[in-house]
Amino acid sequence: MGTGDPWLLVQHVAFEGPGTIATAVTGSGADLTVLRMDRGDPLPPPAAVSDLAGLVVMGGPMSVHEDLAWLADERALGPSSWPPRWAHRSRRVRPPNTGSARST
């Protein structure tokens, strides 16, 4: 995260807000946009997700299989729009070798 890096947080219900996620993202200097599905905020098109530095999709009491108007649009943000641009910069990090656990 860095200054001006765009993050998107998708919130579904009023009682499950971004909390410490927002504090961490904005505290790093990154820009955070919170979209409220419970208030009818529109989701960006799937192609726009690849321009984000981070995407957080909050939970809620609903099921992914419910017939809610915004769920279809939200599912469209999934695998076809991934990996985002930041995933290409990441590297898989292996834990250090701590030696053998066998006794002598």
Range of the domain at 30: 6-85
Looking at per-residue confidence, does 39 or 59 come out higher? 39
The answer as to whether 95 is a domain residue is no
At 79 the pLDDT is 61
Nearest to 56, CA basis, from 98, 95, 5, 18? 18
Domain count, the chain: 1
Q: 0.75 exceeded by the pTM?
A: no
The answer as to whether 93 is a domain residue is no
The answer as to whether 90 is a domain residue is no
The answer as to whether 96 is a domain residue is no
* Tokens representing residue 21 in the block: 């996620």
The answer as to whether 103 is a domain residue is no
DSSP structure class, residue 43: P
Nearest to 2, CA basis, from 54, 55, 57? 54
Q: Are 25 and 37 in contact (CB under 8 A)?
A: no
The answer as to whether 101 is a domain residue is no
At 100 the pLDDT is 47
**Average per-residue pLDDT in the chain?**
75
